Structure 1
Amino acid sequence: MKIYFPQWQGSGTGTNIEPGAKTILDYLDDPEFLAIPLSTIIASEKGEKRYNINNYDAITEQLTRFKKALVTSNPSTIKTIGGDCGLEIVPVSYLNQKYPNLGIIWFDAHADINRPCDSASCNFLGMPLRTLLGEGEKGMDTLLLSTIKASQIHYVGLRDIDATEQTRIDEGNIYAPKKMNNLEMVKTLKEKEIIHLYLHFDFDCLEPSDYDKTYYQVPNGITIQEAEECITTLKNEFQVVGGSVLESVTIKKEELRPITGIINLLMK
């Protein structure tokens, strides 16, 4: 199943996140993508914060629609154009229910593993993995179709980590190497007897000098070539059952040119 879900409310202001997702949709020009309507509840700076989460009502309303679409269609695979990282709680929990011990590859500059009470920004895009672990805001548990274990999480390109996130990573012995090594990651995944993968791809995992049309720019990321090689290796070694492309914010299709290889690998 192919999903277009340009959620931006989990990011705070969401500058260009929705039109950025639309640019990728227009580039792919694929009528199979199903659009999930966004909430009309007032969000952004005028939105309401509940349970230490900005725009809580808007986020939960539209994620409920996303969950209903998946449950109704019962797809075996999911490809998502988004949107901020908070949307991942629905497709990942759905696929984890279908494929137990799902390997989650988190291409991201950020750990996205804060609890609401630990988040300085109160933006949900920094909380999806903690929510998926069943350790987030309990009101969001109804959006989950399953919970994951820390051993299922594997970071690529991680380098901007809050202290509380580092503590959870260390406590869970979560795979978070300082430098990516495809052979080592494949070995780690196979030792865990992981067969199926979900590839979360936030474009801010990339080195900004390679691609800087992202919601955040964090120095010392992985190169586009390294990302393409890693995705290709994982697709060759495992069964990829889901993936996403998130937080590219350019509104010009020609500016996508550097990352079309990544988009094609994940969405086609």
Structure 2
Amino acid sequence: MLVIPQWQGSAAPHPQRLTEGAHRLAALFPTARRTVVDIDPRPGRDGDGVRHLDVLTRSLAATRAALSRSGDEALLAVGGDCGIELAPIARAVARHGDSLAVVWFDAHADLNTPGTSPSGGFHGMVLRTLLGQGPSQLLPGPEERLSARRIVLAGARALDPAERDLIESEGIRALSVQALGDPGRLISAVADTGATHVYLHLDLDVLDPEHFAGLSCPEPGGLHPDQLRAALHALTERFACAGMGITEHAPTADSAGSDHVLHRILGGVAIP
């Protein structure tokens, strides 16, 4: 497991809470071998339309270095903002190529560029950057870039206009919260990509805030924890898991029960 307590990619009102969130998520897996990536806790300088770009660039280098020492096994990464997924997913793409699909459980598509982002927060650009369209300092190498045909958006419901345009023009598969009530529809969507392996990105804001507190960017109308658990079980039973990332947990005094909900969601799932 990699613990990546990065907050600088977030445009949320209280992004520093994500540092505690990363360590709270890691504590859910007490027996896992873990590496804590050394992330500069300070704010950074903005650049090229991205907040704190210099810190994010150093964080990416540190995460890549940690990955280089992690061996070939599938990896669990916990953060932190969604930007922590850049290196782990790039690694999975380089390893599995077109046999890999990325299932993006997230209230947001994270498909903006610096030019279309309304906030400048990199957590809203990470999936677009994995497609090879992002800030030059953070772009993955050609062999690490994801194809739009290998993306399945799951539960996205707060999209910017440029993201909607890209989803339509590229034919990116997207399942609504309602559609995810039937795990078979998700399995079919992933199977249609031709993938044999999946990387599971879990931004906790895919959950409905009525059922889970401590969200960095809550959006109404999300998944019930039992729906998410059923979807994760179905995916890991049908496909080989190439890795998983869990992000955007922002604990507060009112979210003391969130660990129980996470145990309920993740219990029995074949996590790396």
TM-score with structure 2 setting the length:
0.91
Q: Which residue of 2 aligns with 1:141?
A: 139
d(CA) in 2 for partners of 1:224, 1:68 = 34
CA RMSD in angstroms, aligned pairs only: 1.9
The 2-side partners of 1:31 and 1:133 are apart by 31
Is 2:153–2:174's contact at 8 Å kept on the other side of the alignment?
Answer: yes
Q: Secondary structure at the match of 2:144?
A: coil
The one-character-per-residue Cα deviations of 1:86-109 (angstroms, maximum 9, x if unpaired) are: 111100010111011211000000
Quickly say closer, same or farther: Cα 1:229–1:183, change in 2 above 3 A: same
Q: 1:262 aligns with which of 262, 265, 269?
A: 265
Check the 8 A contact 1:82/1:246 in 2, yes or no: yes
What amino acid is aligned across from residue 88 of structure 1 in structure 2? Answer: E
Structure 2 distance, partners of 1:158, 1:61, is 29
What's the offset of the Cα at 1:142?
Answer: 5.3
Partner of 1:106 in structure 2? 104
- Alignment partner of 1:100: what SS? helix
Which whole-Å deviations, capped at 9, do the CAs of 1:91-131 have from their partners, x for residues lacking one? 00101110112110000000101001111100000001110
Range that drifts further, 173-182 or 153-162: 173-182
2-structure distance, mates of 1:184, 1:37: 39
Match of 1:64 among 51, 61, 69: 61
2:6 aligns with 7
Secondary structure class of the residue paired with 1:243:
strand
C-alpha distance 107-82 of structure 1, shift in aligned 2 (>3 A): same
Q: How does 1:102-181 map to 2 (within 5 A)?
A: 102-141=100-139, 146-178=144-176, 179-180=179-180, 181=182
Q: Secondary structure of the residue that 1:117 maps to in structure 2?
A: coil
Query: Are the equivalent residues in 1 in contact too, given 2:129–2:140 (CA < 8 A)?
Result: no
Return the alpha-carbon distance in structure 2 between the equivalents of residues 98 and 38 of structure 1.
Answer: 25
Q: SS in structure 2 opposite 1:234?
A: helix
1:94 and 1:145 in contact (8 A); partners too: no
For residues 115-174 of structure 1, the C-alpha deviation after alignment (integer angstroms, 9 at most, x for no partner) is: 011111000000011100001112222578610110111111110000011111111111
Query: Secondary structure at the residue paired with 2:56?
Result: helix
Instruction: Give the Cα separation in 2 of the matches to 1:214 and 1:146.
Output: 30
| Distance (whole Å) between structure 1 residues aligned to residue 74 and residue 4 of structure 2 | 16
Q: Hey, what does 1:95 align to over in structure 2?
A: 92
Name the one with the larger helix percent: 1
The answer as to whether partners of 2:152 and 2:189 remain within 8 angstroms in 1 is no
Q: Which runs of 4+ in 1 moved over 3 A?
A: 142-145, 251-255
Does 2:243 align with 1:242? yes
Amino acid at match of 1:132: L
- Partner residue of 2:21? 20
Q: Percent identity?
A: 26
Deviation at 1:259, TM superposition (A): 1.8
Is contact 1:90–1:145 with CA below 8 Å preserved after alignment? no
